Amino acid sequence: MKTYRIEKDSLGEVKVPEDALYGPQTQRAVDNFPVSGIRFPRVFIRALGMIKTAAAETNKELGLLFPDVADAIQKAADEVSQGRWDDHFPVDIFQTGSGTSTHMNTNEVIANRAISILKGKSQIKSIHPNDHVNMGQSSNDVIPTAIHVSVCLQLHELVFPALRHLKETLDKRSAEFSDVVKTGRTHLMDAVPIRMSHEISGWSYQIAEASERIMSCLPRLLRLAIGGTAVGTGMNTHPEFGKMVARKLSGRTGLAFVETDNHFAAQAGMDSATELSGHLKTAATSLFKIANDLRLMNSGPSAGLAEIVLPPLQPGSSIMPGKINPVICESAMMACSQVIGNDVAVSIGNASGNFELNAMLPLIAHNLLQSLSILGNSARLLADKALSGFILNRDKIADIIQQNPALVTALTPVLGYDKAAEIAKRAYAEKRAIKDVAAEMTNLSPDEIDGLIDPWLKGNAI
């Protein structure tokens, strides 16, 4: 049987689980928002812990907190940041729009844990979640700050390394296939030849540009709302508090955080987060395209393009023995679709700021952090489990290109468009090589035809 304790807040008594580090405001939120079962991700709780540690250190240095109280809060906040108390953060994502429920959840956990740390070591018997842990702060500035800090951590620890690894993998495979000439395709139809290395280089360039776009957001994401407190006025906080907290967060993370130039904008709108979400969406469309190209090139093995063979990772059917599906490509495409959908939610969330506060901060945080996580993980998986191990079906590629009617394009400067189209149409209908049909339908010698077409077949003209 679960046991409970009775706690009080400004609205009255609340029954809280006996072993819970959180208090009455968290419990009210748990009772009020049984919506999805989705909680804030680890990196967001980590960021909240970091902010509370920096705030306690700052208030201690400013002489606003007794040293033993500040030290206990700092130690408890460090434990929150490290994930020790994640089970005590039960509040649903779909809660109060300011994120106050999760913010108070953090304050209550840290306060109760700090009391335990001080027990028997200090004459101070109580640490208050609002008066002490939340000193100089408000949900209005802490939650936007936590969004920026957690996003920057995810970018540097997951997304940028994953995209860099993906580009390096693409570049390596491109160099391996510089001698392979294959059929190009537009509208999913045969087009003039292209080197396999050139096709992969296009993918690599897309990923490089995606990284550049995302990185361009960093100067704005590094500006933090902390110090603005209620509606951006800075009420009840020291004028140096925001600057000092940002500096301490920089020292802890290695990232160049600074206090924002305008607290009213930083708390009323989440424009920088929305900008990032848009660039993540663009990156997702690029990754989707690459995964889909691989899936199509792998199609077959007998009735599809069958230009490549992706690594066989798992059985593909519960009824068809031997069937192998492009599961990593499909996983990546689903993740990218989710990122695209998340961007819509983030955009609506940002547009829903009213006057001095955005009232969809938890929604923005959840969707943005999920996008970062699944995009980064999918990029690495695509590199390691699809791109790095696929093999070429060189014979199939060579056979396809010999029958490619688009090779007639090489004859167009000599024969004209209309005559070349006649040759292509007949070659396709009779399933013959362009060279042979052109020899019958024109006055060009076989050597002349070879001189025009062979450079493309061998890649010398590409």
d(CA 14, CA 12): 7
In the prediction, which pLDDT does 120 show? 77
Quote the DSSP letter at residue 239.
Answer: T
Quote the DSSP letter at residue 406.
Answer: G
Q: CATH code at 47?
A: 1.10.275.10
Q: Looking at 135, 153, 177, which one is the last position of a domain?
A: 135
d(CA 145, CA 207): 29
In the prediction, which pLDDT does 395 show? 94
In the prediction, which pLDDT does 121 show? 80
216 is catalytic: no
88 is catalytic: no
DSSP 68-115: HHHHHHHHHHHHHHHTTTGGG----SSS-TT-HHHHHHHHHHHHHHHH
Catalytic residue (choose from 10, 187, 302, 318):
187
412 and 316 share one domain:
no
Query: Domain tally for the chain?
Result: 3
* Contact criterion met (CB below 8 Å) for 400 and 299: no
Q: CATH code at 319?
A: 1.20.200.10
Catalytic residue (choose from 317, 347, 378, 445):
317
323 and 418 share one domain:
no
Q: Hey, what amino acid is at 440?
A: E
* β 391-392/308-309 pair status: antiparallel
* Contact criterion met (CB below 8 Å) for 77 and 56: yes
Q: Looking at 365, 395, 425, which one is the last position of a domain?
A: 395
In the prediction, which pLDDT does 1 show? 77
Q: Is 258 helix (H, G, I), strand (E, B) or coil?
A: strand
147 and 170 share one domain:
yes
d(CA 329, CA 252): 37
330 and 361 share one domain:
yes
Helix, strand, coil share (%) of the chain residues, nearest 5: 65, 10, 30
191 and 114 share one domain:
no
126 and 156 share one domain:
no
Using the structure block, give the residue that is written with the tokens 């089970």: 87
194, part of any domain: yes
In the prediction, which pLDDT does 124 show? 79
126, part of any domain: yes
Q: Which domain range does residue 424 map to?
A: 403-457
In the prediction, which pLDDT does 455 show? 94
407 and 390 share one domain:
no
In the prediction, which pLDDT does 122 show? 75
462, part of any domain: no
Q: Looking at 377, 395, 413, which one is the last position of a domain?
A: 395
247 and 348 share one domain:
yes
Residue 434: which of 64, 308, 415, 242 has the closest Cα? 415
Residue ranges for the chain with pLDDT beneath 70: none
d(CA 245, CA 412): 68
214 and 315 share one domain:
yes
In the prediction, which pLDDT does 140 show? 98
161, part of any domain: yes
151 and 296 share one domain:
yes
